[in-house]
């Protein structure tokens, strides 16, 4: 699956997917849920919560 | 926001712009006839009159063009999707907040330097507006790279 395909499935831009992959952007709970739902996983499986590295 | 909602708000905005433009034109004519003041306020009122009225008319034309043209509707829908994208909203909000903050600092700085820098209010207004616009663009470029 390409970044563009995932972006279209969860209704965001490809740039957002790139930023998420690089850990530069923290998604909203809605987007996090959408991505997790798309992969049939839970939010905790897809995203790591780092308490110390809050941006 | 779907396309119908967008078109409706565009029409209301166009109508409001035309009303403001019409009020400004009446003020401009009254100023031209009755007032002896022909300074900045005269130019300012004239600019508002032309800008708002022309903007309103163009928006109404665009509204009717978009309502009838399916291809244009698709383009607008795509644009709305991009504008409502959450990272984009985040970048716009953050850049807007930063540029507003910088402008406040600029005004504070100018106020502190007012003993040495002699600046009228009619000069301060375009300076702060221009600075706000520029700092917004710079913040947008920096934040786009950062996030």
Asked if A15 reaches chain B (Cβ–Cβ under 8 Å), the answer is yes
- The average pLDDT across B25-43 equals 79
B30, B41 contact by CB (below 8 A): no
pLDDT at B75: 85
Which residue in A11, A24, A28 is closest to B147 by CB distance? A24
pLDDT band at A53 (very low <50, low <70, confident <90, very high): low
Is the pLDDT higher at A40 or at B34? A40
A-B CB pairs within 8 A amount to 24
pLDDT at B1: 64
Which residue in B81, B82, B147 is closest to A25 by CB distance? B147
Q: Do B85 and A16 touch (CB under 8 A)?
A: yes
CA distance linking residue A32 with residue A46, whole number of Å: 8
Chain segment A34-50, per-residue pLDDT in tens: 999 999 999 999 998 87
The token pair that represents B116 in the structure block: 């040495």
The model's pTM is 0.69
Chain segment B40-90, per-residue pLDDT in tens: 777 777 888 889 999 999 999 988 888 888 888 888 888 887 778 899 999
Helix B70-83 / helix B3-34 crossing angle, nearest 10 deg: 90
pLDDT at B95: 97
Asked if B77 reaches chain A (Cβ–Cβ under 8 Å), the answer is no
Q: Do A31 and B81 touch (CB under 8 A)?
A: no
Task: Kindly tell me the burial class for residue B130, based on how many C-beta atoms sit within 10 Å of its own C-beta (0-12, 13-18, 19 or more).
Answer: exposed
Q: Does the CA dihedral B124-B126-B130-B133 come out positive or negative?
A: positive
In this prediction, the answer to ipTM > 0.85 reads: no
Q: State how far residue A17 is from chain B, nearest Cα, in angstroms.
A: 10
CA distance linking residue B130 with residue B24, whole number of Å: 23
Q: Do B88 and A13 touch (CB under 8 A)?
A: yes
Q: Do A28 and B86 touch (CB under 8 A)?
A: yes
Q: State how far residue B67 is from chain A, nearest Cα, in angstroms.
A: 24
């Amino acid at each position: 699956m390409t970044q563009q395909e995932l972006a279209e499935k969860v209704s965001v831009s490809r740039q957002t997917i790139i930023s998420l992959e690089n850990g530069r952007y923290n998604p909203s709970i809605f987007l996090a849920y959408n991505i997790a739902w798309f992969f049939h996983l839970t939010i905790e499986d897809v995203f790591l919560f780092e308490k110390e590295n809050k941006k | 926001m779907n396309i119908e909602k967008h078109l409706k708000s565009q029409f209301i905005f166009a109508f409001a712009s035309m009303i403001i433009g019409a009020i400004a034109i009446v003020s401009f004519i009254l100023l031209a006839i009755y007032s002896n003041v022909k300074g900045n306020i005269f130019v300012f009122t004239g600019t508002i009159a032309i800008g708002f009225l022309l903007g309103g008319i163009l928006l109404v034309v665009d509204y009717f063009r978009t309502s009838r043209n399916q291809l244009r509707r698709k383009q607008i829908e795509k644009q709305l999707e991009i504008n409502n994208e959450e990272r984009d909203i985040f970048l716009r909000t953050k850049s807007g907040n930063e540029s507003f903050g910088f402008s406040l600092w600029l005004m504070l700085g100018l106020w502190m330097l007012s003993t040495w820098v002699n600046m009228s209010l009619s000069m301060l207004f375009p300076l702060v507006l221009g600075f706000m616009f520029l700092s917004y663009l710079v913040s947008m470029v920096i934040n786009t790279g950062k996030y």
